[in-house]
Amino acid sequence: MKNRKRIFATLLMLSAGPLAIAGTSTNTLGEKIARKGTGDVPACAICHGDHGEGNIKAGYPRLAGMNAEYLDQQMTLYAQDERKNRIMQEYAQKLSIAERRAVSDYYANQTAHSPHIDLKTLPPQAAKLLQVGAPNRGIPSCFSCHGDNGQGNKDGIAPIAGQSAIYFIHQMNAWRFNERPVTEGNPMAVIAKTLTLKEIALLAHALQ
Ligand code: HEC
Ligand code: HEC
């Protein structure tokens, strides 16, 4: 009996799989918020791009293909005024918990295009931080957590390749000035405070 239940559950998962990946058809609420907004909140696409690809020039981060839990967690932090950004705090507060979850799932299912970072073409200081870190100052290699090309990793650590330089610099400053909380086990505040301003600028441009 137990076995049969398990087989049935597996079949269900298999049949739900492709639909869940195609995403849009099974998540109409998330898609609606992303593309049309709600009565209170404008369409996310206005800033984050038609497919969540972000807007490099304006400094709006890409959301496509990011981990759903991460996106949802960040929306909650904005809603609770723990992560500071006037625009996003307002929107996150106006969305319900279910709406935030739906739109996070929607973006997680969008295809991401992470550019290839060619270390050979970068300033050596930036390439070294990405690949080796600065062990003498306790900074591990960025790629060791963010994926071997900065594309993010399967445990949900955010991508850093192809992200807007303006956004990158804002995040480093937010951690330096304690305006973005550090989730458990997250070394970013220490890293941001240890990097020099020059290194932050070099990395921002290397990764965009
Ligand atoms: C008017 C422009 C604008 C709109 C519309 C907008 N955002 Fe944002 N969003 C931003 C900016 C700017 C940031 C960066 C804020 C910061 O520095 O913390 C951001 C950051 C985020 C982040 C954090 C990303 C990360 O990598 O940590 C998430 C998640 C997010 N937005 C989701 C949404 C969702 C979902 C919607 C629609 C309900 C939306 N945004 C609508 C401008 C916008
Ligand atoms: C030990 C693992 C680890 C290392 C090493 C690391 N990071 Fe991170 N990083 C994280 C985690 C985890 C997050 C997600 C933050 C959160 O949950 O609030 C993050 C978030 C970020 C973000 C914000 C992404 C977004 O979408 O908002 C940037 C930018 C970033 N890291 C850059 C770097 C750079 C540059 C380096 C190298 C100097 C680096 N990280 C090294 C774990 C790491």
pLDDT, tens digit, for every residue of 26-74?
A: 689 999 999 999 999 999 999 999 999 999 999 999 999 999 999 999 9
Distance (Å) from CA 85 to ligand 1 centroid: 9
Are the beta carbons of 68 and 11 closer than 8 angstroms? Answer: no
pLDDT of residue 114: 86
Averaged pLDDT for residues 123-133 = 98
Q: Identify which has the larger pLDDT, 22 or 190.
A: 190
For 176, the enclosing helix (H) or strand (E) is: helix 165-176
For the chain, the structural domain boundaries read: 22-108, 119-207
Pocket of ligand 1 (CB under 6 A): 33, 41-42, 44, 46-48, 60-61, 63, 71, 74-75, 83, 85, 87-88, 91, 103, 158, 167, 170
Residue 2, pLDDT > 80, answer no
Looking at the structure, give the CATH architecture of the domain made up of residues 22-108. Orthogonal Bundle (1.10)
In 3D, which of 15, 13, 36, 32 has the Cα closest to residue 24?
32
For residue range 77-125, list pLDDT tens digits in order: 999 999 999 999 999 999 999 999 999 999 999 998 889 999 999 999 9
Distance (Å) from CA 19 to ligand 1 centroid: 26
Q: Which CATH number is 119-207 given?
A: 1.10.760.10
Token pair, residue 65, equals 């293909």
